[in-house]
Amino acid sequence: MSTLLNSVLSMSANPSPEPPRKPLGFVSYIPTGFLHFSSVNKGVARVLASTHITLSPKDSAFTITGSSLVNEGRKPNVAHSTQLLYDLCKANRLKKAIRVIELMVCSGIIPDASAYTYLVNQLCKRGNVGYAMQLVEKMEDHGYPSNTVTYNALVRGLCMLGSLNQSLQFVERLMQKGLAPNAFTYSFLLEAAYKERGADEAVKLLDEIIAKGGEPNLNR
């Protein structure tokens, strides 16, 4: 994935993932400064202190609990940290969400697969496929194998960037790993082919997919 990752990162047009200025504009943000925090408590405290977000009563309860733990000098656990991650993503605070997940890892609080997948999906929706790919690699390093859901987010993100060729190469690599594309994967590719190359090329790609046994969902 490293070659593809370098190629995607080279397309960077905006160093900040939030908020995106163009719907399909690529953003590449690689957080570094927060890695120097002395502890997860100090880091999470800064995130909480500098975050101004509106949450539902249910979501607020989790965030307030995490804040109380930090104020009491206790390290938040996986559940509290993950909920803060979700809250920040919902409030479109992607930079701070990235900080939380990096602080978790640096402090020995390993995010679970659902937390990684959620952030990967949020980043891809905003065009930050490069950092999303790095997160997938970290997720696999921590023993959580990626699945079709995770990779579909990356495929969709690449297609949104207008990178059909890279999307097709990526899917080929997934198949070599034993992951079978599903109807959504093919639909993302066909939509991208239509937008980038026109109806004739999209139909040609559809024929190739069907010939290989794929079953695109044409009713999306």
CA dihedral 153, 154, 155, 157 (to 10 degrees): 90
Residue 118: its pLDDT value, please?
Answer: 92
Question: How high is the pLDDT of residue 110?
Answer: 82
**Residues 6 or more apart from 37 whose CB is under 8 A from it?**
43, 46, 103, 106
Asked if residue 122 has pLDDT above 90, the reply is: yes
Higher-pLDDT residue of 31 and 4 is 4
For residue 63, count other CB atoms closer than 10 A to its CB.
20
Of 180 and 61, which is predicted with more confidence? 180
Phi, psi (rounded to 5 degrees) for 14:
-150, 125
* Residues 49, 46: Cα–Cα separation, whole Å: 5
More confident residue, 68 or 24: 68
* CA–CA separation, 186 and 20 (whole Å): 26
Lowest mean pLDDT among 21-25, 42-46, 71-75, 120-124: 21-25
- pLDDT value of residue 7: 58
What is each CA distance from 119 to 2, 35, 57, 132, 208, in whole angstroms? 20, 18, 22, 8, 32
Least confident of 5-9, 31-35, 61-65, 116-120: 31-35
Q: Is the pTM of this model over 0.85?
A: no
Residues 58-106 have pLDDT tens digits of 444 344 444 444 444 455 677 877 888 888 888 888 888 888 888 888 8
The more confident residue out of 18 and 187 is 187
